[in-house]
Amino acid sequence: MSMLTGSRYISYLIMFCLAIFGGKNEFIPYLIVLINFYIFYVHIASIPLMLNWSRNLYLHIFKSIFSSIVLCVLTFSIVYYLQGLNFNENAIYSIKKSIYFSLSMFTNLGYGGVHPLEINQLISSLEALIGILYLPLLTAYIWIYVQDRLWEKGHDEKQEFESINLIDTVYGVSLALEDESKTQKRTKKFKLKTCSKCDDGDLSILKYYDTIGRVTPLSKFIVKCECGNISKPKNNTFLATISWNKNNKSR
């Protein structure tokens, strides 16, 4: 996952440098197109991996997709600015109109009063194709986020809220409804140190929801001993295990 994210950042840098230092070249913009297709592939490949790792990475993924869209539009704007655009049958070199034209291509809005020169007609069409890929991805991702935060229809709403137990008013977390087998399976994946409070209590990694001051619940994980000793809420099970082991050592 980190390798995919790192390759995306490197691609951003290469793409931006190519646009600035080679934007006037006839063939460099096609390399920029290929890099944008590669970045799109990285998003497709990394989204399932990141969401399987932690459902609290929605904001991070949204920022990465949005950043890719902004950088794509700006990079092509630099190319159009360096190569020129056709405005009222005259070649112009305006950064403002280049951004407008690039955004129009990406969103498939149309040419308007600004047209591409012959040298970048194909490039502008390829940018429109990239926009066709990115915009549905962004829309679908937003829908996945919304759908993931809907309550299950199979649960009785009254029973759902009656089954939520506030664990700690300081942390503001509420117990999530889960099968015992799922909790046990999650706990067995990690090596937890003995509880320093009771020495021999059964440990469990439980899923909770942070609901204090939030529009939608944010999932958290806590290591809990049967004696009542708990770790601080963390965004994923790995961090919750580290927090527990740091504060509980075998005697």
Give the phi and the psi of residue 90 in degrees, each rounded to 5.
-125, 145
CB 193, CB 229: distance < 8 Å: no
Whether residue 87 contacts residue 114, with contact meaning beta carbons closer than 8 Å, is answered with yes
pLDDT of residue 72: 95
* pLDDT over 80 at 164, yes or no: no
Residue 161: pLDDT above 50?
Answer: no
Q: Which residue has the higher pLDDT, 50 or 158?
A: 50
Please, what are the domains in the chain?
2-148 (1.10.287.70), 157-247 (no CATH)
Edge-first strand listing for the sheet containing 85-87:
90-92, 85-87, 114-116
Highest mean pLDDT (candidates 152-156, 172-176, 178-182, 183-187) = 183-187
If DSSP codes are grouped into helix, strand and coil, which group holds residue 229? coil
Q: What's the pTM value of the predicted model, to 2 decimals? A: 0.61
Tell me which of 178 and 92 has the higher pLDDT.
92
Confidence of residue 214 (pLDDT cuts 50, 70, 90): low
Of 79-83, 130-134, 169-173, which gets the smallest average pLDDT? 169-173
Please, which contacts does 196-203 make with residues 24 or more away whose CB atoms are closer than 8 Å?
196/229, 196/247, 196/248, 196/249, 196/251, 197/225, 197/227, 197/228, 197/229, 197/248, 198/225, 198/226, 198/227, 198/229, 199/251, 201/225, 201/226, 201/227, 201/229, 202/226, 203/244
For the segment 129-133, the average pLDDT, to the nearest whole number, is 94
In whole angstroms, give the CA distance from residue 245 to residue 235: 16
Q: Is the pLDDT of residue 160 over 70?
A: no
Q: According to the model, what pLDDT value does residue 106 have?
A: 94
- Residue 110: the pLDDT is 76
pLDDT at 6 exceeding the cut of 80: no
The full DSSP string for 158-174 is HHHHHT--EEETTTTEE
CA distances from 166 to 36, 129, 225 (A): 47, 50, 16
pLDDT winner (highest mean) among 28-32, 88-92, 210-214, 246-250: 28-32
- Phi/psi of residue 107, each to 5°? -90, 0
How confident is the model over 40-54, as pLDDT tens digits?
998 888 888 777 777
The mean pLDDT value of the chain amounts to: 80
